[in-house]
Amino acid sequence: MLTRTANRTLLLFGFTLLLLLPAGSMPLMESTEARYAEIAREMIVSGNYLEPHFNAIKHFHKPPLAYWLTAAGFKIFGLNNFGARFFCVLAAVLAVFYLYRTACMLLRNEKQALLASYIFSSSLLFLVVSRLASTEIYLVTCVVAAQFYLLRQAFGTRGWHNALFYGVFLGLGFAVKGPIIFLFTLLPGLVAKLFDSHHRHLFSWREVAITSAAFFLIALPWYLIVVIKNPGLLEYFLKVQTVDRVITDRFQRYEPPWYFFYIFAVTFFPYTLFLLKGLWNWKKLSEQLKPLLLYIALPMLVFSLVKGKHATYILPFYGSCAILTAGMLARDSMPRLRNLIAWLLLLLALAPAIAGFIYPPLRGVSAWLVLAGLVGFILWWQIWSVRRRESYWGWIVVLMVFLSGVGIWGAGIAGPQMRGYQQMAAELNRRDPEQRMETLVFRGYLPSLSFYRNHLAVMALSRKREIQFQPEISYRPWYLSNNKELKAFLTDHPELFVVTRKKTLELFSETYSYQCEPAFIQRKYSAYLCKSIPEPEGENPLQIK
DSSP labels, 501-539: EHHHHHHHHHHHTEEEEEEE--SSEEEEEEEEPPPPSS-
Structural domain total, the chain: 3
Phi and psi angles of residue 529, each rounded to the nearest 5 degrees, phi first: -90, 115
- 258 is a domain residue: yes
Distance CA(4)–CA(212), nearest Å, equals: 34
Q: Do residue 412 and residue 427 come from a single domain? A: no
Element (H, E) at 329: helix 318-331
Beta bridge partners of 54: 57
3-state secondary structure 474-503: HHCCCEECCHHHHHHHHHCCCEEEEEEEHH
Q: How many CA atoms lie within 13 A of 335 on its CB side?
A: 3
Q: Do residue 123 and residue 211 come from a single domain? A: yes
Q: Do residue 204 and residue 262 come from a single domain? A: yes
Q: Do residue 460 and residue 396 come from a single domain? A: no
- 23 is a domain residue: no
Residue 543's pLDDT is 52
Q: Do residue 152 and residue 254 come from a single domain? A: yes
C-beta separation of 277 from 337 below 8 A: yes
Q: Do residue 464 and residue 408 come from a single domain? A: no
- 493 is a domain residue: yes
pTM confidence score: 0.92
Locate all alpha helices (DSSP H) within 123-243, ordered by sequence: 124-129, 136-155, 160-177, 181-184, 186-191, 197-200, 205-229, 233-235
Q: Do residue 194 and residue 321 come from a single domain? A: yes
Residue 249's pLDDT is 63
Which of 288, 304, 332 is at the close of a domain?
332
- 264 is a domain residue: yes
Q: Do residue 407 and residue 499 come from a single domain? A: no
What's at 288, amino acid-wise? Q
Which of 361, 381, 416 is at the close of a domain?
416
* Coil, strand or helix at 331: helix
Residue 545's pLDDT is 42
Residue 422: closest CA among 89, 152, 80: 80
Q: How far from 512 is each of 441, 487, 493, CA to CA, in Å? A: 14, 8, 12
Q: Is 464 exposed, middle or buried (0-12, 13-18, 19+ CB in 10 A)?
A: exposed
- Segments forming the whole domain that contains residue 148: 60-332
- 21 is a domain residue: no
Per-residue b or e along 219-239, where b marks 16 or more CB atoms closer than 10 Å to that residue's CB: beebbeebbeebeebeebbee
Polymer length in residues for the chain: 545
C-beta separation of 446 from 463 below 8 A: no
Tell me the pLDDT tens digit for each residue of 105-163.
999 988 899 999 999 999 999 998 998 899 999 999 999 999 999 999 999 999 999 99
- 312 is a domain residue: yes
What's at 332, amino acid-wise? D
**318-331 and 292-305 helices cross at what angle (nearest 10)?**
140
Distance CA(450)–CA(334), nearest Å, equals: 51
Q: Do residue 94 and residue 243 come from a single domain? A: yes
Distance CA(448)–CA(439), nearest Å, equals: 12
Residue 25's pLDDT is 82
Which of 401, 416, 431 is at the close of a domain?
416
Residue 251's pLDDT is 63
Locate all alpha helices (DSSP H) within 414-491, ordered by sequence: 422-431, 447-453, 472-475, 483-491
Residue 459: closest CA among 447, 451, 472: 447
Q: In this structure, what DSSP letter does residue 29 have?
A: B
Q: Do residue 401 and residue 523 come from a single domain? A: no
C-beta separation of 324 from 278 below 8 A: yes
Q: Do residue 314 and residue 452 come from a single domain? A: no
Q: Which residues contact 430 (CB under 8 A, 6 or more apart)?
A: none
Which strands form 495-501's sheet, in the order they lie side by side? Answer: 479-480, 458-460, 439-442, 495-501, 525-532, 514-520
- 47 is a domain residue: no
What's at 439, amino acid-wise? T
Q: Which residues contact 441 (CB under 8 A, 6 or more apart)?
A: 449, 457, 458, 459, 460, 462, 499, 500, 525
Distance CA(460)–CA(444), nearest Å, equals: 7
- 545 is a domain residue: no
Residue 214's pLDDT is 97
Provide block-wise average pLDDT over 10 residues at a time, the chain (545 residues).
64 79 84 93 96 92 95 96 94 95 93 92 91 93 97 93 97 95 95 90 93 96 94 85 70 81 93 90 85 94 87 94 93 89 93 88 88 94 91 88 86 80 94 92 94 94 85 82 92 94 92 94 93 72 48
Q: Do residue 164 and residue 254 come from a single domain? A: yes
Q: How far from 521 is each of 411, 424, 516, 517, 526, CA to CA, in Å? A: 17, 8, 13, 10, 5
C-beta separation of 491 from 542 below 8 A: yes
Q: How far from 440 is each of 156, 447, 499, CA to CA, in Å? A: 58, 11, 6
C-beta separation of 144 from 101 below 8 A: no
